[in-house]
Amino acid sequence: MSGEGGGARRAGLLVLLPLAFLALLFLYPVGTLIAQSFTGAGAPFGNYQRLVSTPLYVQVLQRTLWLSLGTTAICALLGYPVAYRLAHASPRGKAVLLVFILLPFWTNLLVRTYGWMVLLNPKGVINQALVWLGWVSAPVPLVYNSFGVLVGMVQIMLPYMILPIAAVMAQVDPQLRSAARSLGAGPFASFAFVYFPMTLPGVMAGVLLVFTVSLGFFVVPAVLGGPKDLVLAQLIEFNINTSLNWGLAGALSTVLLAVTVAIFAASQRWLGMAALWGGAR
């Protein structure tokens, strides 16, 4: 009995250490920032009232949500077929595909973003090719706008969509589609009603991951976006480093955190995210 008690205490200490680490480096800073959001505006909720009543802040929040939604949708459309190919490739093919998928992780985020700025600018390779092919008569504005931001965000977030989907696809029994075909289902029906529903947990995991991470993007909008393409993270940085308004920065951060938590809770409640832990069935 004493041995069992000692083992339980050691297990408790092993759990206590990461919990203390989490509380010190995450919960305490987040709690401090939330507390700051209720200061510096006269009334306790003055900063939040300012966010709601100021059209600029509402527009920035809407733009952040739309850019995140657009990035998520494009990543899902591009990532699903790539994930399918990855899950069903030969071992050598998987190795080659993984190199190309993971290659962006080996390059600095700022370097990748500046690379897109070079490619998309009016004198860049893409615009020169479009003019040379005769598809456009003058350079097209591909950067310093929402399009440039979307391109940069999609390129960075695409692996986060591909890998969860491919992981679930790899667990799907390939005989199920053959069984559906033998029962009279066509290629589209066997995919839409058999294969795709079984891979949906991976799609939902990728969507949740890409969307929540995209909400907090700063570098890509700051480099590839224009003055009219501000996102929430840029406003937070401006209020902390330039205007020194920690209360408003705390309110903006709290709104961003609340949106993220609400999305995660809704996914758990209505999209059955608990199925992710059980894998595809």
C-alpha to C-alpha distance for 151 and 116, rounded to whole angstroms: 8
DSSP 8-state symbol, 228: T
- pLDDT tens, 14-23? 778 777 777 7
Q: What's residue 76's pLDDT?
A: 94
What pTM was computed for the model?
Answer: 0.82
C-alpha to C-alpha distance for 221 and 63, rounded to whole angstroms: 11
What domains does the chain contain, in order, with CATH numbers? Answer: 57-278 (1.10.3720.10)
Q: Which long-range contacts (CB under 8 A, 24 or more apart) does 23-29 make?
A: none
Of 69, 109, 137, 104, nearest in space to 223 by CA: 109
Q: Which long-range contacts (CB under 8 A, 24 or more apart) does 38-42 make?
A: 38/247, 38/250, 39/246, 39/247, 39/250, 40/245, 40/246, 40/247, 40/248, 41/247, 41/248
Find the length of the chain.
Answer: 281
Q: What's residue 6's pLDDT?
A: 58
DSSP 8-state symbol, 23: I
Ramachandran angles phi, psi of 43, nearest 5°:
-80, 155
Q: What's residue 82's pLDDT?
A: 92
The tokens for 270 are: 């209505």
Q: What is the pLDDT along the chain (281 residues), one digit of tens a residue?
A: 455 555 667 666 777 877 777 777 777 877 888 888 887 766 777 888 888 888 888 898 889 999 999 999 999 999 999 998 998 888 888 888 888 888 877 888 888 888 888 888 888 888 888 888 888 888 888 888 889 999 999 999 999 999 999 988 888 877 776 676 666 666 677 777 777 888 888 888 899 889 989 988 888 898 898 888 888 888 888 888 887 888 888 888 888 888 888 877 777 766 655 555 544 44
The tokens for 108 are: 């600095």
C-alpha to C-alpha distance for 179 and 5, rounded to whole angstroms: 53
